[in-house]
Structure 1
Amino acid sequence: MVQNKWYVHPAIAVAVLVNVFVMGLAIAWSGDPAKLQRLLVEDGIVEWMQFLCFAVTSGLLAFAAVEHWQRERRIDLPLLALVGLSGIVALAALEEISWFQRILNVTTPEYFAQNNRQGETNLHNLAIGKKGSIHKTILLKVIAIAGLTHNIVLPLLARKRPAIRDFVERFGLYLPPLSASVIYIVLVAISHLVIDHPRKGELGEMFGAMHYTATVFAAYFLGIGYGKRPIFETPADSRRVGTLFAMLLVFLLLTAWLLSAGAGAEPYLALHPNGKD
């Protein structure tokens, strides 16, 4: 039976609370430019949180793909979807931190130095036109349309027409719980309306990364909001692994905070006090 309430499991509830905490932190620090900059700057808390969430989500999808293969022993649409999504999310994680360029102190190749809006070794900031980039001109629009469709439109339609959910799951995909999705979208809207910072869009990206980390785990591993057979089928196993995963989400926030202090944020703030787009 498909469940749609976000509090049906601590994994989703904790993800919501982490996002609310970061939003509250941004609001509390909005009156202090230095603190807000520490939160949103390149290699700051929010960006490291995005990387960690993307990395975990990619691993979860890859694990789900392996489990699917072991059960079915054939190449089908769900397997291809899981493998493809795992690769795309892994790419997003590496792009987020410019393929470890700043951490490893690697010099930017000439092509990227001339064509990347931030002078970094990544694809999403490659220039388009005089002021645009792949990220701002294309990706943000695609993410917004896909995000609203996947989180709001399809779950709403599926409430009246369950065949829509069945159709989505036939391709190896899932629909997140509507109530959790609404909170995610509301937080993104609040971040754009309340926070005054050139990099405030990073908040929405982090909210989405955390939201998908939790809902991917809840769907494929526990069967929450998902009609197919989950990886953990017994209630006892689901409870144990779900509790551990909820603890992991909190640990990700702590790790992002520590990484921002020791792996780039402070030197970056010294060199770029106003940040970058």
Structure 2
Amino acid sequence: MKSITHTEKRGFLFLAIVLLISLFFGYSDVTYFDTKIAQEDGAVEYSTAILLVCISILCFYRFFTTSKNKSWFWKLGTLGFALLFLFGAGEEISWGQRIFNIESSEFFLKNNAQNETNLHNLVVGDTKINKLIFSQLLMVVMVVYLIIIPLIYRKSEWVRNLVNKFAVPVVQWHHTIAFLATTVLVTLIPSSRKWEVYELAFGLIFLLIFLNPFNKEILPKN
């Protein structure tokens, strides 16, 4: 396991504090947890969006400052991550709908479970997109990314070259441990809004991964 940076130590400390507070109020006062800590348009939700934007900005910065020295595969991967996390941030806050007091269009009023302007709450037939893609499919992707890829990356030169070619940050084991521990602790919170805290943890840990990946060779050289 490579060394943990000071930034990561601060990030994990912040995450631990958030989890402890969430567990405490989740058990002692679930109403307070739902309406003050994990409420819609609250500090946790906006913090998640900010973290995702930070990852996007980091990727855009690397793309625009380093891409001329990199292959098209590296450019594609870096730009793809920048757009992906920007999309995630937009979805998290419904693209600023409530911030700017924008009414949902007729399409979203009819097809969105929460009448919001976003894709993850859409309902197609009897299927919720959020449950199918952003929960079940995402969980499979997370297992592959956090556990399977790091194992194969260390064993297979072909996989290592492919991952590095597309600038995919490989997690260090302390990132995986943090994610697994967070999953267990969040699951213990007796509130349906506990997943807002999980999304915050997702944003924070992924920011730390992109700042300090196992495969540092994909990062711009100073």
Same fold (TM over 0.5): yes
In structure 2, which of residues 106, 109, 113 is the aligned counterpart of residue 117 of structure 1?
113
Query: How far apart are the structure 2 equivalents of 1:166 and 1:8?
Result: 24
RMSD: 1.8
Q: Is residue 32 of structure 1 aligned with residue 29 of structure 2?
A: yes
Q: Which is worse superposed, 162-171 or 114-123?
A: 162-171
Q: Is residue 19 of structure 1 aligned with residue 25 of structure 2?
A: no
Partner of 1:96: 92
Query: How far apart are the structure 2 equivalents of 1:19 and 1:62?
Result: 25
Unaligned runs of 5+ in 1: 220-224, 234-277
Kept in 2, the 8 Å contact 1:65–1:82? The answer is yes
Partner of 1:145: 140
Q: Is residue 180 of structure 1 aligned with residue 175 of structure 2?
A: yes
Q: Is residue 154 of structure 1 aligned with residue 149 of structure 2?
A: yes
Partner of 1:166: 161
Partner secondary structure for residue 199 of structure 1:
helix
Q: Is residue 189 of structure 1 aligned with residue 189 of structure 2?
A: no
In structure 1, which of residues 231, 253, 260 is the aligned counterpart of residue 220 of structure 2?
231
Kept in 2, the 8 Å contact 1:29–1:36? The answer is yes
Partner of 2:122: 126
Q: Which is worse superposed, 109-118 or 163-172?
A: 163-172
The percentage of aligned residue pairs carrying the same residue is 24
Kindly indicate whether structure 1 or structure 2 has the higher relative contact order, using CA contacts under 8 Å at least 6 residues apart: 1
Q: Please state how far the C-alpha of 1:153 moved relative to its aligned partner.
A: 1.6
Q: Please state how far the C-alpha of 1:77 moved relative to its aligned partner.
A: 0.6
Q: Which is worse superposed, 171-180 or 96-105?
A: 171-180
Q: Is residue 217 of structure 1 aligned with residue 182 of structure 2?
A: no
- Cα-to-partner distance string for 1:23-82 (whole Å, 9 max, x where unaligned): 11101111112321111111122211110111100000111111232324xx61110111
Unaligned runs of 5+ in 2: none
Q: Please state how far the C-alpha of 1:226 moved relative to its aligned partner.
A: 1.6
Kept in 1, the 8 Å contact 2:164–2:218? The answer is no
Aligned residues: 220
Partner of 1:275: none
TM-score, scaled relative to structure 2 = 0.91
Partner of 1:84: 80
Kept in 2, the 8 Å contact 1:151–1:182? The answer is no
Partner of 2:56: 58
Q: Please state how far the C-alpha of 1:163 moved relative to its aligned partner.
A: 5.2
Q: Please state how far the C-alpha of 1:160 moved relative to its aligned partner.
A: 4.1
Q: Which is worse superposed, 112-121 or 75-84?
A: 75-84
Query: How far apart are the structure 2 equivalents of 1:172 and 1:232?
Result: 14
Alpha-carbon distance change, 210 to 227 in structure 1, aligned in 2, over 3 angstroms: closer
Kept in 2, the 8 Å contact 1:116–1:125? The answer is yes
Partner secondary structure for residue 102 of structure 1:
coil
